[in-house]
Amino acid sequence: MMPEDMQRYSGWPACGEIDIMELIGHQPGTVYGTLHYGVPHTYTGESYQLPENKKFSDDFHVFTLDWEPGEFRWYVDGELYARQDKWFSTSMGTGEQNPQGAPFDRGFYLQLNLAVGGKWPGYPDHTTQLPQQMVIEYIKVYQKTEQ
Is the distance from CB of 46 to CB of 26 less than 8 angstroms? no
Active site residue 17: yes
Q: Where are the domains of the chain?
A: 2-109
Per the residue annotation, which of 17, 52, 96, 146 is the catalytic one?
17
The amino acid that residue 82 corresponds to is A
Of 27-31, 67-71, 113-117, the poorest mean pLDDT is in 113-117
Return the percentage of the chain with pLDDT > 70, whole number.
99
pTM over 0.85: yes
Per the residue annotation, which of 4, 22, 79, 96 is the catalytic one?
22
Is the distance from CB of 29 to CB of 53 less than 8 angstroms? yes
- Whether residue 121 is preceded by a cis peptide bond, meaning omega within 30 degrees of 0, is yes
Instruction: Return the CATH class of domain 2-109.
Output: mainly beta
Q: Cα separation of 58 and 43, whole Å?
A: 29
- Nearest in space to 120 (alpha carbons), one of 62, 55, 50, 43: 43
